[in-house]
């Protein structure tokens, strides 16, 4: 195994035995039964073999792992849900696998949830919805809360309440020095600021405390789908709709080829479609009236926009994003939708190569725009939409064609960007200047936080912010 300096490091078996003696969770060496499961991440383009996997059960295990990596000069990586497209969760040194740390404790009176870092979105959604509450999380229920929250985080509730990281109240963190500290507005506020957007650069988070909001449990949500030929008219309607929508109504637009969903007619499967995914958490009668305007537009080929549990909406499109495909994305923030941009969006989308590709517009404008740029490190408070150009495919021989389509579409749409990009959507090869673009004016302050909390850059398997030398 090679370190950054090119030197080969294999910790002595006596050192691994010593770690095993104080570790509560299993340690996995290559060849162990769960080793391949642990090292596998969502994006099949990533195939790395850590020297050692430490499956942590608690913060003490994380402390032991951080100290071990530091003392033995081993590259360290941290895996939450393993969903990051860049595959930063897995490296070739010591991987801390937090997937066994899945406890969620909800305090319905205080409207807070304390979640461990191995939780997937579905773990937190299920625990909070039992009390009619929800945290601001993402759209695919198998995503890890840890990476999502630390990189910013957005989902159907973002227009109402802001970035996920804006709704975090405190974090328990294992630092590069192997200490357990609390980061909040009142304790270690510089660390708290940096962790809310700065990703895994400053420590390993072992507990997230989220603010919760009353949502559902029944809402008006689902999807309406039209043939691809209707995209110009549907997106024109969409532009007006999203310009006037209240924060309770989030409508996501996707151009893709129709999946073989049972609620879509068989003759449209595999053909271009335009889909609107709607999540309206407003009072039911008003939400139903807003939905009616969408449902009656033109001639949809599929319509499952209806009263449904919030939990059902949170898993509605899970099937479209399975693990194990090869994936490549590009993303930009948009300040608004412009007719010229939408024309280019449609023209380029239909050149997609894979049946699993899609170009998506996620509206996020609302609460996050009302806070100052430096409220938390994520910044980008001029963003109204996330544009995501995503290809997923199955065979390595299709890599070049899919990557080329993503890049061409990105080049065509990039002129409409705010100049910012979502750090959690950056692919493996995207380092500087894209990381700087992701943080804009907050970047220099992030370097200060990094220099204070991780001066030797122990936490560098991430979208790295290097400390000052």
Element (H, E) at 377: none
| Binding track over 296-325 against ligand FAD, x by CB under 6 A | -------------------------x----
Q: Report how far residue 101's alpha carbon sits from residue 399's, in angstroms, rounded to the nearest whole number.
A: 35
Q: Rank residues 268 and 359 by Cβ distance to ligand FAD and give the closer one.
A: 359
- Chosen residue from 148, 245, 252, 278 binding ligand FAD by CB under 6 A: 148
Nearest to 57 by CA among 65, 69, 67: 65
Burial call 10-21: b when 16+ CB within 10 Å, e when fewer: ebeeeebeebee
CA distances from residue 374 to 154, 166, 190 in whole angstroms, order as listed: 17, 11, 12
DSSP secondary structure string for all residues of 360-376 = EEEE--SGGGGS-TTSS
Task: Give residues 398-427 in contact with ligand FAD (rule: CB under 6 A).
Answer: 424
Contact with ligand FAD (CB under 6 A) among 146, 264, 368, 383: 146
Q: How far is the CB of 164 from ligand FAD (least distance, A)?
A: 7
CA angle 194, 200, 204 (to 5 degrees): 100
Is the CB of 204 or the CB of 361 nearer to ligand FAD?
204
Q: Which lies closer to ligand FAD via its Cβ, residue 38 or residue 41? A: 41
In 31-146, beta strands by DSSP E? 52-55, 76-79, 94-97, 104-107, 112-115, 133-134
Name every residue whose Cβ is closer than 8 Å to that of residue 2 and which is 6 or more positions away in sequence: 8, 92
Please, is 180 exposed, middle or buried when counting C-beta atoms within 10 Å of its C-beta (0-12, 13-18, 19+)? Answer: middle
Specify the stretch interacting with ligand FAD by CB under 6 A; choose among 125-133, 143-151, 268-276, 306-314: 143-151
Q: Is 290 in the site for ligand FAD (CB under 6 A)?
A: no
State which of residues 38, 54, 56, 98 lies at the interface with ligand FAD (CB under 6 A).
Answer: 98
25 binds ligand FAD (CB under 6 A): no
CB of 199 to ligand FAD, least distance (A): 5
Identify which range of 20-28, 136-144, 271-279, 290-298 contacts ligand FAD by CB under 6 A: 136-144
Strands, E, within 33-192: which ranges? 52-55, 76-79, 94-97, 104-107, 112-115, 133-134, 168-174, 180-184
Cα 385 to Cα 8: distance, rounded to the nearest angstrom? 45
Q: How far is the CB of 319 from ligand FAD (least distance, A)?
A: 11
d(CA 390, CA 235): 19
94 lines the binding site for ligand FAD (CB under 6 A) = no
Q: Which of 138, 194, 358, 379 binds ligand FAD (CB under 6 A)?
A: 138
Give 417's DSSP letter: S
Q: Which of 19, 28, 64, 154 binds ligand FAD (CB under 6 A)?
A: 154
Distances in Å between the alpha carbon of 255 and those of 176, 358, 394? 43, 6, 20
Q: Does 129 bind ligand FAD (CB under 6 A)?
A: no
Pick one of 147, 178, 198, 366: the residue that binds ligand FAD (CB under 6 A).
Answer: 147
Q: Does 128 bind ligand FAD (CB under 6 A)?
A: no
In this chain, which stretch among 150-158, 181-189, 331-339, 450-458 interacts with ligand FAD, using CB under 6 A?
150-158
Q: How far is the CB of 176 from ligand FAD (least distance, A)?
A: 11
Q: Please, which residues bridge with residue 278 across strands?
A: 222, 251
Residues of span 54-93 touching ligand FAD by CB under 6 A: 77-85, 88-89
Backbone torsions φ then ψ of 138, nearest 5 degrees: -90, -165
Q: Which of 155, 272, 365, 467 is the binder for ligand FAD (CB under 6 A)?
A: 155
Binding letters toward ligand FAD, positions 190-229, x by CB under 6 A: ---------xx---xx------------------------
Q: Which residues contact 156 (CB under 8 A, 6 or more apart)?
A: 139, 221, 250, 279, 281, 313, 314
Site residues for ligand FAD per CB under 6 A: 41-42, 77-85, 88-89, 98, 117, 138-140, 143-144, 146-148, 150-151, 153-155, 199-200, 204-205, 321, 424, 461-462
């Amino acid at each position: 195994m090679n370190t950054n300096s090119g030197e080969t490091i294999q910790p002595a078996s006596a050192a691994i035995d010593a770690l095993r003696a104080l570790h509560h969770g299993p340690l996995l060496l290559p060849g162990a039964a769960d080793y391949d499961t642990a090292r596998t991440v969502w994006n099949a383009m990533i195939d790395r073999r850590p020297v050692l996997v430490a499956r942590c059960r608690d913060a003490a295990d994380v402390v032991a792992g951080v100290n071990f990596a530091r003392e033995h000069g081993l590259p360290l990586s941290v895996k939450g849900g393993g969903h990051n497209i860049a595959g930063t969760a897995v490296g070739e040194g010591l991987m801390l696998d937090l997937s066994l740390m899945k406890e969620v404790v909800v305090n319905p009176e205080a409207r807070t949830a304390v979640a461990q870092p191995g939780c997937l979105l579905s773990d937190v959604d299920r625990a909070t919805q039992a009390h009619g509450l929800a945290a601001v999380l993402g759209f695919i229920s198998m995503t890890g809360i840890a990476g999502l929250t630390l990189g910013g985080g957005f989902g159907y509730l973002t227009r109402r309440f802001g970035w996920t990281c804006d709704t975090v109240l405190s974090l328990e963190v294992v630092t590069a020095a192997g200490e357990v500290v609390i980061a909040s507005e009142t304790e270690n506020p510089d660390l708290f600021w940096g962790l809310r957007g700065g990703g895994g650069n400053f420590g390993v988070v072992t507990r997230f405390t989220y603010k919760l909001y009353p949502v559902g449990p029944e809402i008006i949500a689902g999807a309406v789908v039209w043939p691809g030929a209707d995209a110009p008219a549907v997106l024109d309607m969409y532009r007006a709709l999203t310009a006037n929508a209240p924060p309770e109504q989030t409508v996501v637009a996707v151009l893709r080829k129709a999946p073989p969903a049972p609620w879509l007619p068989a003759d449209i499967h595999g053909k271009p479609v335009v889909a609107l995914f709607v999540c309206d958490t407003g009072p039911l009668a008003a939400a139903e009236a807003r939905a009616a305007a969408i449902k009656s537009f033109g001639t949809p080929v599929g319509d499952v926009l209806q009263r449904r549990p919030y939990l059902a909406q949170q898993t509605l499109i899970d099937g479209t994003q399975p693990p194990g495909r090869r994936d490549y994305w590009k993303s930009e923030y948009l300040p608004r939708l412009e007719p010229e941009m939408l024309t280019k969006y449609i023209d380029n989308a239909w050149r997609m190569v894979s049946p699993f590709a899609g170009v998506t517009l996620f509206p996020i404008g609302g609460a996050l725009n009302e806070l100052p740029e430096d409220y938390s490190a994520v910044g980008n408070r001029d963003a109204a939409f996330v544009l995501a150009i995503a290809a997923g495919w199955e065979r390595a021989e299709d890599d070049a064609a899919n990557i080329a389509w993503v890049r061409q579409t990105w080049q065509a749409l990039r002129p409409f960007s705010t100049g910012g990009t979502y750090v959690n959507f950056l692919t493996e090869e995207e380092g500087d200047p894209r990381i700087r673009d992701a943080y804009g004016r907050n970047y220099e302050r992030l370097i200060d936080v990094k220099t204070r909390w991780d001066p030797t850059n122990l936490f560098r398997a991430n979208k790295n912010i290097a400390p000052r030398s």
